[in-house]
Amino acid sequence: MVDKDKIDRELADAGWEPDGTFSDHLSIGTSDDLCVLVPRSTWETEEPAYELYDVARHICYWVHEIPTPEQAAVLLKEHGEPPEEE
């Protein structure tokens, strides 16, 4: 199991600004209009999933490794789609 502190360190190491606003539910890294969202349900597994999200364009893309903000911008541009409605 991956803990939240480790996720926050990985976000910071990749160039994201960790945001503890929703720390009980998810871990967030921000960079301008881009975010990496790590829901608690995924950080409690052996293989966390990371949702890349572009706030301005309202598109997302799921990955299994934390990219840099620059890599995230490319992935979102090439593969991003509107989030699924829950």
CB 37 within 8 A of CB 61: no
Bigger pLDDT: 41 vs 29: 29
As a whole number, the mean pLDDT across the chain is: 86
Q: Residue 26 gets which letter from DSSP?
A: E
User: Per-residue pLDDT averaged across 72-84, rounded?
Assistant: 94
CB 63 within 8 A of CB 75: yes
User: Per-residue pLDDT averaged across 51-71, rounded?
Assistant: 95
